[in-house]
Structure 1
Amino acid sequence: MSREQLIEMTRNLIAHGAADTMEYADDVVRVPASAYTDEALFEREKQQIFRRLPLTVAPSCEIPNVGDYKAMDICGVPLLLTRKKDGSVGAFLNMCKHRGNPLAEGTGNATRLMCGYHGWTYKNDGDLVGVASPQDFGAIDKAEFCLTRFPVYESAGLIWATLDPDSKLDIADYLYGYDDLLKAFEFDGWTLFAQRTLPGPNWKTAYDGYLDFYHLPVLHKDTFGADFYNRANYFAFGPHQRLSTPSKFAIKVSGDDDQQLDLEHLSDDEIPQEVLVQGVWTIFPHISIASFYGGGQRGAMISQLFPGNGVGESYTTQFYVMENKPETDADVKSAHEQFDFLEIVVRDEDYKTGKRQHEALQSGLLKEVLFGKNERGGQVFHQWVEKLTNASDDELLDIFAAEHREAAE
């Protein structure tokens, strides 16, 4: 993790805050309204983005112990994550090699997984170790029928997987160091306090909200307040982004006291760790991470967004992770209150608005939508979606090899 890079970003925010300015995009950008409503494009995005690019599939603290597993479905692909004997993570196609029956559902702990259809048994590293009634079934080489493995990568307390077993795109290249910055959250060793899944609108409509501070004092006037900031400076790491409000002040929460810090008067060494990760960090194409304070300690909400079955549907799993497990009843209550507040903000304000917006766009009478010079995050997101949806597999490798080289220079 490069504290120097985080300090540089923070100093940028302080300078703009002191000058009452922000960084702007070059111009207003127009995006076709059909980008949100076209069914064929939606299916292509699922194939070209969600079934081809590395996805953040879980926080590490969701499967912290050897034997832990998690089964989930992503755009029609059944995925199984396991914590193997050596502590590393495995990612597999959740289908028995006999007839394709899923081996597991939900979460649990098991070093061996038995198919509930015919009893074939696998170790949690994917190896087939048992065929029921082998004398009747016939001779097979078990090594040929191990679970299909997906590329998997764990870093910064997060787990990525690529839902293409033949993918040649290196996950670290795809991130090219962004995960080193995410280590500043210090998620390693954190605990998963609670999680839930919310239905939402079209996945891009939903994701737009995570990249947009412009709407905060308007849409969230009853929750955050009408005087809440609406500016955000934008920092790019290929398709991944950080947005944070330009300000020379920060709030440091300690117990029941809120302390306003004048960052201009602090040395680099005096700037607290939680200030360095303020704002919203996104991992393309579907993750948002934001810090909060509840239950007497630091926490964060990791929002994991996936397309739904139809163009107007998505679903978001919200993980509320905390630095330590809250111990007192009061701290547990406080953490639940923080998480419940965030549900209201997203479900009843962001996603309710997004659904109404999408229904209106489906009329076909608005031909394009606008992203202002102050909405650079949304501009760049849509540019990357279009670029990667239309890229061939070879072009995809070239794109991220080039991005990786530029980041290293």
Structure 2
Amino acid sequence: MSREELITMTRSLIDHGAADTMEYADEVVQVPASTYTDPDLFELEKRNIFRRLPLMVAPSCELPEPDDYKAMDICGVPLLLTRQRDGSVGAFLNMCSHRGNPVVEAGTTGNATRFMCGYHGWTFKNDGDLVGVASQKDFGAVDKAALCLKRFPVYESAGLIWATLDLNSKLSIADYLCGYDDLLEAFGFDGWTLFSQRTLPGPNWKTAYDGYLDFYHLPVLHKDTFGADFFNRANYFFWGPHQRLSSPSKFAQKTGSDEMLDLSVMSDDELPQDALTQGVWTIFPHISIASFYGGGQRGAMISQLFPGETVGESYTTQYYVMENRPETDEDVKSAHEQFDFLEVVVRDEDYATGKRQHEALQSGMMDHVLFGKNERGGQVFHQWVDRLTHASDPKVEEIFAGEQKEAAE
């Protein structure tokens, strides 16, 4: 983790806050309205974004113990994650090598050393090896070593797990992250606990994701939850397509208190870790991380967004992770209240608005939407979506090898 880089960002936010300024994009940008409603483009995005780029598929604390597993479907791809005995994570195509039936039901989690296909009884170890062919004498001779579960590229860093849903991908996940995971280490998610999770339906995935990159709407859309005097400015920091947005201010809330700290009078050594990570951290193309305090301790909501079946649908799994599991009834209640509050904000305000917006755009009566100079994050997000959706596989590899090299320098 580079505390120096975090301090540099924080000092920039402090200076802008003291001067009552913010960083702007060069101009107001137009984005075609059809980028949200075109079903052919939507299918291309699912293939070239979600089935080709690394995705953050789970926080590490969702699979904390050896032999823990999780099965999920992403854009039509069945994925099985397992925690190996050596602590590493395996990512497998959740399809029996006999007839393709999933060996674990999607949406389930548990702890197991073996998985038996429910169709014909072929059995696999949780490292993917085929160890049992039912009635093998009758079935005939097969090479079990050649019929293991197929492996996806997988990478674990900063208490988060990434997988690439392309069995033949040559894209380095570390290159793709552009050094961003080094900064995410600042949250300290390694060793945290998963307190609760839920999945919410939402609008078009880009409509939904726009909201995570936008403080401009906070005092308007969330006036009844966060308050009408809430900040609406954000400065943006970039690592390839990954972004952090944070309010330009010299103040930060003291952890677990309503007290506001004046960061401008603190030395670099005195700056609290929470202040260095405030704001929203997004991982392209579908993750948002925001810190909160509830249940007597530090927490964070990790929002994991995926496209749905149609262009107007998405779904988001909200993970509420905490530094430690709350022990008292009062702290458990407080943590649930914090998480329930965030559900209301996202479901009833952000996503309800996004669905109305998408329905209106589907009328075809608007040619384009606008992203202002103060909405730099949305501008950059749409530029990256367009660039990567239409890039060839070799070009994608070239892009991120270059981004990683630049980040290293």
Return the TM-score normalized by structure 2. 0.99
The alpha-carbon deviation at position 117 of structure 1 amounts to 1.0
Does residue 356 (structure 1) correspond to residue 356 (structure 2)? The answer is yes
Contact 2:200–2:315 at 8 Å: present in 1 too? yes
Aligned to 1:33: 33
Aligned to 2:78: 78
Q: Aligned residue pairs: how many?
A: 407
* Partner of residue 207 from structure 1, selected from 200, 206, 209: 209
Aligned to 1:124: 126
Contact 2:255–2:274 at 8 Å: present in 1 too? no
Aligned to 1:323: 323
Return the TM-score normalized by structure 1. 0.99
The alpha-carbon deviation at position 260 of structure 1 amounts to 1.2
Aligned to 2:346: 346
1:101-156 alpha-carbon deviations (Å, 9 max, x no partner): 11112101001111111111111010001111111111111000000100000000
Does residue 276 (structure 1) correspond to residue 276 (structure 2)? The answer is yes
**Which segments of 5 or more consecutive residues in structure 1 lack a partner in the other structure?**
none
Does residue 387 (structure 1) correspond to residue 397 (structure 2)? The answer is no
Aligned to 2:52: 52
The alpha-carbon deviation at position 401 of structure 1 amounts to 1.0
Aligned to 2:109: 107
Aligned to 2:314: 314
Matches of 1:276 and 1:110, distance apart in 2: 39
The alpha-carbon deviation at position 161 of structure 1 amounts to 0.1
Matches of 1:118 and 1:151, distance apart in 2: 28
Where do residues 94-173 of structure 1 align in structure 2 (5 Å cutoff)?
94-105=94-105, 106-173=108-175
Give, as a single letter, the amino acid of the residue that structure 1 aligns with 2:384.
Answer: W
Aligned to 1:242: 244
Aligned to 1:396: 396
1:310-345 alpha-carbon deviations (Å, 9 max, x no partner): 000000000000000000000000000000000000
Aligned to 1:62: 62
The alpha-carbon deviation at position 258 of structure 1 amounts to 2.4
1:165-212 alpha-carbon deviations (Å, 9 max, x no partner): 100000000002100100000000000000000000000000000000
Give, as a single letter, the amino acid of the residue that structure 1 aligns with 2:136.
Answer: P
Give, as a single letter, the amino acid of the residue that structure 2 aligns with 1:129.
Answer: V
Give, as a single letter, the amino acid of the residue that structure 1 aligns with 2:62.
Answer: E
Moved more, 235-244 or 111-120: 111-120
3-state SS of paired residue (1:253): coil
RMSD (Å) for aligned C-alpha atoms? 0.5
3-state SS of paired residue (1:78): strand
Query: Hey, which bits of structure 1, 4+ residues long, moved more than 6 A?
Result: none
Aligned to 2:8: 8
The alpha-carbon deviation at position 253 of structure 1 amounts to 2.5
Give, as a single letter, the amino acid of the residue that structure 2 aligns with 1:96.
Answer: C
3-state SS of paired residue (1:125): coil
1:79-106 alpha-carbon deviations (Å, 9 max, x no partner): 0000011110000000000111111121
The alpha-carbon deviation at position 406 of structure 1 amounts to 1.3
Identity of aligned residues (%): 81
Give, as a single letter, the amino acid of the residue that structure 2 aligns with 1:193.
Answer: F
